[in-house]
Amino acid sequence: MLVYGDIERIARPADVLQGIEKAMLACRQAQPGRLRHELLVQTFIETGELVQGLADREFERHGADSISAVQDTGAELLLAQARAILGSWQEQFAGDLPLSTDVSALLRHLDHVGTLRMKRAEGYSFYAVYPESYLEAALRSHLPPDTVVIGIRSIGSSLAALVAAALGARPAFSLRPIGHPFHRQLKINPVLTKRIVARPDLTFAVVDEGPGLSGSSFASVAEWLEANGVNRSRIHFFPSHKGGPGAHADNAQRERWQARSKHVVQVEDLVINTGSNARNLKSWVGELVGSRIEDWRDISGGNWRALRYDNAQDWPPSHRQMEKLKFLATAVDHSWHVKFAGLSRNDAQKVRRGSLLHEAGFTPPVTGMCHGFLVEEWIDGRPIETAGMHKHEILARIGSYLAFRARHLPAPHGGASFETLCRMAATNVEEAAGVDAAERLAWIMQQKNHLVRHLHPVDTDNRLHRWEWLATDDGRLLKTDALDHNGAHDLIGCQPIAWDLAGACVEFDLSTSERDRLVEIVIADTDANLDEGILAVFEAAYLGFQIGLWSMASASEGSSERARIERTLSHYLRRLRLLVAL
């Protein structure tokens, strides 16, 4: 199934370096406190994405990882920033900022030439991988300062710098495993090999997020070290969670994983289940909202459904492993939804987006951000199924909402091309419904190829499911969780508003006349081209994506959740049969 994708951007290194230098200056000038620490972490993440991009560009040029002045400089820069984060964290955000290395000089020595393909670090953006977790894991490991630290690109470039800073080690190396996702391998220049394993009697720390579906990235580095004379007992893993490799690991991979020494501190133990007020999410939220938080409830992994539905039999499906961390924080007479939204500096845009949508009356009010967590008011309300609203009221509200996004919210980043959408939809449908259905779907999408190419993307919602809407006691219909799905860890991204319109047609099972009414509402306030053929194209793509997404979810969930997912899949497959029968 084709579901996941990376958010990439093409940037000029000179522009990125200038932004990093300005941000570091702002860090030096800021008053001690959590906000300064957050800015330092955000700048470190951006530096890591730049260093990763430069390293990958050199890998493409040489066909292997090799010794490089640019990579050495990048590793020194990341280590300097990681030491500053360590000092700020240990001092509980107080005191002077420890920046002992001339960061500006290091920035000037990085490669400023040409353009660069930069990837967003997934763990920092989607999976609550916190830099401070790796600091704490390294401090608690008690590994010696002469440990050789190796980061697995992409995110491992920066995570390894944190481990090196906490251990007092030299700048970390970074390596890029390549090949099949479940059977990664390394390609390393002999000169770099000699440099990394000059002393195989030392301790080696291998650092990355994960393990993922197979754990093959960690395994590729460990096996390479062993092949170059390092004893297995000297190899230590620094992952992002305590679980093992996923469903695509074989028995040998699982056994090797279990045999390794591992050091991990998860975010729950870092900023949630901790007694430190200065380094505690609950305390941060209390400061932000101006109230002492008296009750704190974890509503991640689909647990939020118990607050919205009286009967578990009515619960919508949840891909629990992929849900972001979220909590319900309650003061005396008020509650807030606290959801992980990403550590990137750019994620502050979500607050502005949320404010604009709330002012227009479409979403709950946003209060602010707390070191990666978005805080918005918790609205008591009912699922749309139990609200007793007429269909025409629902259509009017959805139409107004989509028209507002199309008119006022320009796309903050790119999205999948038409060709990518076609390939994704055909691949997923072929696996779920067979070759004939996939060929018919591909034919439908190609019919409007010439028109779709000229549509412009907007800041689409990308989640129009029925359970994402909430009916309030005063008769309003609010869109929940509306701020960041077009920046999720999937391949869709920002699309023309026709994507959301198709999503609404599918999720609310609209008839032809109901679809036409919804289109009329959107067209009345926009200049969007939304003829029937274009909507058919996007409905085909939307169905292909949802079928792929929930098929993967079904394979990873237990029996009770799988039953809900299968019911949802049946709905998508029924809509698919209607579409390809046209």
Percent with pLDDT over 70 in the chain: 99
Q: Is the pLDDT of residue 582 over 70?
A: no
Q: Where are the beta strands (DSSP E) in 131-289?
A: 148-152, 173-175, 204-207, 235-238, 261-262
What would the two tokens of residue 54 be? 């430069």
Q: Longest C-alpha distance within the chain, in Å?
A: 73
Q: How confident is the model at residue 509 (pLDDT cuts 50, 70, 90)?
A: very high
Q: Is the pLDDT of residue 123 over 70?
A: yes
What pLDDT score was predicted for residue 30? 93
What pLDDT score was predicted for residue 101? 62
255-272 confidence digits (pLDDT tens): 889 989 999 999 999 999
Q: How confident is the model at residue 93 (pLDDT cuts 50, 70, 90)?
A: very high
More confident residue, 534 or 248: 534
**What average pLDDT does range 148-176 have in this prediction?**
97
Q: Is the pLDDT of residue 571 over 70?
A: yes
AA identity, residue 515: R
Backbone region of residue 153 per phi and psi (left: phi > 0; alpha: psi in -120 to 50; beta: other values): beta
Q: How many other C-beta atoms can be found within 10 angstroms of the C-beta atom of residue 436?
A: 11
AA identity, residue 389: M
Q: Which residues pair with 65 in a beta bridge?
A: 188
Stretch among 78-82, 272-276, 405-409 having the lowest mean pLDDT: 272-276
Q: Is the pLDDT of residue 345 over 80?
A: no
Q: Is the pLDDT of residue 467 over 90?
A: yes
Q: How far is CA 178 from CA 188, 192, 433, in A?
A: 11, 17, 32
What would the two tokens of residue 551 be? 């098929």
272 Cβ contact partners less than 8 Å away, ≥ 6 residues apart: 280, 281, 282, 327
Q: How many other C-beta atoms can be found within 10 angstroms of the C-beta atom of residue 155?
A: 27
Burial of 167 (0-12, 13-18, 19+ CB in 10 A): buried
Q: How far is CA 486 from CA 6, 115, 341, 483, in A?
A: 12, 25, 12, 8
Stretch among 4-13, 41-50, 80-89 having the lowest mean pLDDT: 4-13
What pLDDT score was predicted for residue 100? 62
- Measured distance CA(159)–CA(49) in Å, rounded: 11
510-539 confidence digits (pLDDT tens): 999 999 999 999 999 888 878 888 999 999
More confident residue, 225 or 556: 225
- Measured distance CA(518)–CA(464) in Å, rounded: 13
- Measured distance CA(500)–CA(506) in Å, rounded: 10
Q: Give yes or no for a contact between 492 and 486, defined as CB atoms under 8 angstroms apart.
A: yes
**What average pLDDT does range 309-329 have in this prediction?**
91
What pLDDT score was predicted for residue 113? 82
- Measured distance CA(421)–CA(148) in Å, rounded: 43
Q: Is the pLDDT of residue 97 over 80?
A: yes
Percent with pLDDT over 90 in the chain: 76
165 closest CA partner among 77, 240, 105: 77
- Measured distance CA(556)–CA(563) in Å, rounded: 12
Any idea what DSSP says for residue 289?
Answer: H
What pLDDT score was predicted for residue 331? 94
**What average pLDDT does range 278-282 have in this prediction?**
93
Q: How confident is the model at residue 227 (pLDDT cuts 50, 70, 90)?
A: very high
Provide DSSP, 450-498.
HHHTTPPPB-------GGGEEE-TTS-EEE-S-SSGGGSSSS-BS--HH
Q: Is the pLDDT of residue 12 over 80?
A: yes
Average confidence score pLDDT of the chain: 92
Q: Which of 18-27, 190-199, 244-253, 468-477 has the highest mean pLDDT?
A: 190-199
Q: Is the pLDDT of residue 104 over 80?
A: no
Q: How confident is the model at residue 71 (pLDDT cuts 50, 70, 90)?
A: very high
